[in-house]
Structures are given as C-alpha cells and as structure tokens.
Structure 1
C-alpha cells in the first residue's frame, strides 16, 4: 500500500512557469504509527461523538440513566432466584445477590465495550466516507456509555455493601486495575472485529453469539473455586475470568488465588490490544472504499 503527499512543482519549459499541485506516492512504513498524538489533536471530536451517543441512547426515554441500574439489578434478581436459590450454586460464603452483582458490573462493561466497538465503524460509515479524522476515535468514543453505566451501577454496589454490612477493605484500591484489564480485553477484540466487520458483515452477526458463549465460560454466576485447581491457572486464558475474580477479591477479600490467572490474562489482553491497534491502523485506508 502507499500513502500520498502533496508537493508544489514548477513547469520550467517556458518563460511563464506555473505552479501546480502534484501527488507524490511513497510507500507506507512496515509498522504503521498508532496515531496517539493525532487522537489527542482531535480530542474535541472524541468528546462530541461520545456525547452524541449518550444523548441518542437516552433520548425520549422516561427512566433515562436509571436503565444503568435496572439492567444489572434485574439480572441479579433472576440469577439469585434460579442459580442461587433453586440451583444452590455456591457463592464463597457471600450472599448470592452481591456475589453475582459484583461480577455483573465488569461483565456488562466488557460486553457493552465489545459490542459497541465492533459495530462502531458500520454505524458511523456516513462519517468515514465524507471527512478525514483518525478512525480510532470512533471505536474509542463508543466506550463512553459503558463507562457511565458502570460508574452509576458501582454506586449501587457500594449501597449493597452497606446493606450486607461488608466493610471496605484496602484491596479495593486494586479495582481500577481489574477494570482496565477488562476494557483492554474488550477494546482489543473490538478493534479486530470492527476492522473486519466493515468488510465482512458476518462478524457483526457473530459478536452477540460469541459474547453469550464468553459469558458462560466466565465465572459470573458461579465461583472459580468450582474449577479444578490444576486447570485454574489456564483459566486465565479468558481475561474476563481474572477480571471477575479480581473484582470479588478487591471487594470482599476472598476467592481463589488469582496471581497466575492475572499474569496470563494480562499477557493475553495486552497482545489483543496491541495487535488490534496495528491491524486497525493497517487497514483503515480501505474503510471508506468498502463502507
């Protein structure tokens, strides 16, 4: 592939030389720049797109941002009845409602980020084909709603901690690290999916199915202690297993030893993000052609 730069050249074949715009075609670098500095230059556009998505989501709604509370709370109630009460799934000595709610928060942040980033380019193809800006801004801006919903639901979680008389422990300071691990994993997969989805729409149809499967292999409704200890470290191949168990450890101070799981998950999620960034940047020149 090649990039195009503009130069000014003069015609020297006559006394009346004129200036004309010419196109200079030069090869791209083997590894394209990630364009982080360019994203900072266009930060106002990033804010505008995130704010636009927020207004569109809650436009003409009666409950508004209360949906950020209703969704995890309704899932918590359903899981508590069918898995906690009827299924008798163990909850590491914790009340099952708060056990599952603490896992639903990072999972819903992950699921929303994965879905939003995967469909972001297709949803904004009218912008891609009309004006230039760093294309990475689109999937990054689509994460805003998930972060806002997560922050609101986190307040509900702290209210539940007070209700169940669960004290705040020092490990809670590690909560942002596990949250970032989940976002990194979702964004890494989402960048791959968004770049592929704009060319192959089958990817967009597969994302909800993949997310459902991913949910059942993540210890949201059950503890990782049910997994045989010899397999537990390899369970970290699924980064969300470490995120969910990390949330429970940071909030309650119990659960399985997640050190090896976390290291493996960190390597996996970092690889997904870095490779996703390079693949996205490598293919973004063709987005406008195939959108």
Structure 2
C-alpha cells in the first residue's frame, strides 16, 4: 500500500469517526442549558416548579434581611398590631363608641388588624421586590415572578407569629371558638392570593414608573379606613355598602372576623372579594408577563 493510499485511508477514517450516524459533526459533550419560551401572557407552572428551591431561598433571604440588624428582631412583628390595637381600643371603642358586636374590643380590633397588617406589609414588600434585586434581575435568568412571590411568602412568617399572639389573647379573654372557624383557612388563602395579585402588578409597574413606590404607602394608609378593620361592616351606611364591596379586602376582613367569633357571615361581601381577587390575579399576571421582557433593560 502506498503512502498516499495510507493517508487517504486515515483521512477517511477520521471523517467517519468525527461524524455521528446522521452525518453531522460530533461536538464535545458539555452541559446544555435550554431556555424554553413560556406562554406569553400567563405562567408556566412547570417552570416555576423547577425553580422551587430558588423560591424557598429568596423567602428565607427576605426574612433574614428584614430582622438581621434589628435590635428587637421579630418582636417588631407583634409590637405593630398590639400598639394599633391599644390605640384604636381607646379611641374608637370608648371615645367614638363604635360597636364591636358583643366581642371584647381588643379581640375585635385584633381580628381585623391581623389580616390588614399582613396585606399592607405583603403588598409593600412585593411591590419593591424587583427594584430591590436589580443585580439578580439584570444578570441571572430565572422566572421574575419568583421575587414578588417570595416577598408575599416571607410575610406569612409575620402573619403566623401574630396569629400565635392572637390565639394567646383569645385564651386570656376566654373567648370560645365558633364552628365557622373552618372558613378561616379558605379566607386566609384568598387573602394570600389577593396580596400576590396586587403585589405582582405593582412590582411590574414599579420597574417602569418609580413613583409607584411613593404612592403605595399612601394608598395603604387610606385603605385601612375604607376597609372594616376597626369597625363592623354594618357600621357603613347601607346605601354606600355596595361601594365597600368593590374593595376586595372588605369581604376578607369581615369574613375572617365573623368566622372566628361566630358572627353573621357577610356572604355578599365574601363573594365579591372572591370574584375581584380572581380578576385581579389574572390581570396582574398578564401585566407582569407582558412587561417582564423589558425588566432587565429598564431596571
């Protein structure tokens, strides 16, 4: 065999070995990361599930950062509702003589303040979740919806601590539980969904319109007084009551209070809150998904 024939044979062998069965050039084996295009205006649940560990990490991070340099730590969680309960008990139940439907004033007020404080803190934290994580958003790929979701989940820690305090107050006052207490879980779930909906929408708007971060505290302060937090829903004039139903927190707060103490359930308000929360969730997620593609550039 001649030298040229050997060379041609080696070249042919190399060509065959370097190609796969379909004739394409074989490439070195390296990990491949694929980015799948999700649904444009809705959530890819499978993608969120893949990043569940990151969601947990972000939640833990938010909880640690919140109390890392606070001298009193988690004590601040119970100080806020306790202080508000004490002030409103004096002002509204004694000076303004607002009815508490046969329930001790501190307990009546605390049952309204508990969901409202969670709502206010969850919405505020979720609204700032994107602009507070600029390096993550601009440099790392992950579902951006995890950031407001983590903020809402982290606020549940505060809610659980305050709920434990509330249970202690119930025992001190020897307040019996109502069979309607079984409604507490679905109402709490509705509350979490509402916080997630509003927080997600505000987080998306906050990236493009930074004035949102200044408007939200004002709206939350005003919102407490147009929500039956420190007064019963029946205290509102009947002709204006349908306007109260347009506030999704009305049915949730009044429903939680009625479920705990066995009061008459505000069925119409609860149904209105359920419908409004569902609409807000769809609207907020649609808005978030449409704006998400520009987050890294704008933020």
**TM-score range, shorter-chain basis?**
0.7 to 0.9
| Higher strand residue share | 1
Structure 1 counterpart of 2:232: 223
SS of 1:120's equivalent in the other structure is coil
CA deviation digits over 1:234-282, x for unaligned, max 9?
4221111111111111110114x41111111111111001111111112
Match of 1:243 among 237, 240, 252: 252
More deviation in 218-227 or 178-187? 178-187
Q: CA deviation at 1:68?
A: 1.4
Match of 1:281 among 277, 285, 289: 289
CA deviation digits over 1:85-139, x for unaligned, max 9?
2222211121111110010000011111110111110101111011100000000
CA deviation digits over 1:206-233, x for unaligned, max 9?
1101111111100111111111334434
1:144 aligns with 2:121: no
CA contact (8 A) 1:233 1:260 kept: no
Structure 2 counterpart of 1:190: 199
1:133 aligns with 2:147: no
CA contact (8 A) 2:198 2:280 kept: yes
| Misfit runs of 4+, over 4 Å | 28-31
Structure 1 counterpart of 2:119: 110
Unaligned runs of 5+ in 2: 1-24, 28-36
Matches within 5 A, 1:1-291: 31-255=40-264, 257-291=265-299
CA contact (8 A) 2:152 2:195 kept: no
Q: Partners of 1:94 and 1:133 in 2: how far apart?
A: 48
Q: CA deviation at 1:72?
A: 0.7
Q: CA deviation at 1:77?
A: 0.6
Larger radius of gyration: 2
Query: 1:63–1:232: structure 2 CA closer, same or farther, 3 Å change rule?
Result: same
SS of 2:139's equivalent in the other structure is coil
Unaligned runs of 5+ in 1: 1-16, 20-27
Q: CA deviation at 1:60?
A: 3.0
How many positions carry a matched residue from both structures? 266
SS of 1:192's equivalent in the other structure is helix
RMSD: 1.9
CA contact (8 A) 1:182 1:239 kept: no
